[in-house]
Structure formats: structure tokens, C-alpha cells
């Protein structure tokens, strides 16, 4: 079976995007060099200090924060990959027929139940 969207090899595409990214970085360099040359430089202790709303900065800047929404980050790691599986099915769906949709419906049901339970636990803030 020939899947319409997936027949060409891709290498060229990646190379083009890589070129573009390199160009973007290169285009950023002169934009930062021009101010370096023409701007007046008068550094002072107050100017180089960490900004804390006008106060004298106190303590470490890299504080340990309470990650009360950490559970959502964990969920993302799992469900992002799963949502990519769905793309593989979606491209091939026209050739696979309705029966594949039933399989995917079961798959989605399992995922959504798991996601619901994870959301229930993530909502309990005292756990995190």
C-alpha cells in the first residue's frame, strides 16, 4: 500500500532548514555588534546588579521554587509522544478504513482515562 504523504526521502528539507537557522544566527551577530561599537559604555555597580524592583539584591538569584505544577510537565513527556503516534495513523487512515478508527478509539479511551486520573492527581496540590 502506498501512503500518499510519505513517499519522498527527506534530507534536503532538513538541510534547507539548517541553512536557514545558521543564517538567522549569522544575521543576529551584526545586530549585536553595532550597539557594541557605537553605544556609550558607562558600566557601574548599580547598573550591572541583578534587577530586583529597585531594591539592593539579596540572597541567591537561583532560588529553589516549589514546583506545584510539576505533574503537568511529567504528563507532557508521556502524552506528547503518544500524540505523535496518532499522526502516523492519521496519514494512513484513508487506506486503512473504518476498522482502524475503532482501534484508535480504544487507544484514545485508554489514554484519556489515564490522563483523567493523572489530572486528578495533579490537581491535588498537597501531593506536590
Partner 1 sequence: MSEPTDFEEFLKRVVTIVFWILLIVPIIVLPLLFFGSEILQALQLLVNANSIFILINKAQNPFLAFELMDSLGQGPCIATATYQPSAGCNPTFFRIVIFPGFTFVALLTLWLGWFERKLAAKVHMRYGPLYAGRISGVLQPIADILKLLGKELIIPAKADKPFFIAVPLLTMGISAALLTLIPLSERVYVVPPASASLGLLVLFAVLGFYPIIILMGAWASSNKFSFIGGLRALHQLVSYEIPWFLAVLGVVVLTSSLDPFQIVRAQSKIWFIVPQFIAAFVFLTATLAELERIPFDLPEADTEIVFGWLTEYGGMFWGILFGLSPFIKLYVFSGLFTILFLGGWLGPAFLPPEIWFILKTFVVITVIMFSRVFNPRIRIDLLIRVGWVYLILLAVINLFIAVGLKAFGVL
Residue 73 has phi, psi (to 5 degrees) of -65, -40
- Residue 48 or 56: the one with the smaller Cβ distance to partner 1 is 48
Nearest-approach distance from CB 77 to partner 1, in angstroms: 9
Nearest-approach distance from CB 99 to partner 1, in angstroms: 10
| Class of residue 107 by CB neighbours under 10 A (exposed 0-12, middle 13-18, buried 19+) | middle
Nearest-approach distance from CB 78 to partner 1, in angstroms: 10
The answer to whether residues 93 and 100 touch, using CB atoms and an 8 Å cutoff, is: yes
- Residue 31 or 56: the one with the smaller Cβ distance to partner 1 is 31
Residue 19 C-alpha cell reads as 541553512
- Residue 56 or 98: the one with the smaller Cβ distance to partner 1 is 98
Nearest-approach distance from CB 117 to partner 1, in angstroms: 13
- Residue 47 or 127: the one with the smaller Cβ distance to partner 1 is 47
Give dist(CA 5, CA 89) in Å, integer.
Answer: 12
Amino acid at each position: 500500500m502506498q501512503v500518499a504523504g510519505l513517499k519522498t526521502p527527506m534530507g534536503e528539507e532538513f538541510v534547507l532548514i539548517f541553512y536557514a537557522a545558521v543564517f538567522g544566527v549569522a544575521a543576529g551577530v551584526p545586530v549585536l555588534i553595532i550597539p557594541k561599537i557605537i553605544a556609550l559604555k558607562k558600566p557601574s555597580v548599580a547598573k550591572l546588579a541583578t534587577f530586583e524592583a529597585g531594591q539592593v539584591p539579596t540572597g541567591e538569584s537561583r532560588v529553589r521554587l516549589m514546583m506545584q505544577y510539576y505533574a503537568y510537565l511529567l504528563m507532557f513527556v508521556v502524552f506528547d509522544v503518544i500524540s505523535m503516534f496518532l499522526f502516523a495513523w492519521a496519514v494512513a487512515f484513508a487506506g486503512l478504513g473504518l476498522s482502524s478508527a475503532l482501534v484508535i478509539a480504544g487507544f484514545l479511551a485508554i489514554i484519556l482515562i489515564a490522563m483523567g486520573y493523572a489530572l486528578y492527581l495533579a490537581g491535588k496540590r498537597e501531593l506536590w
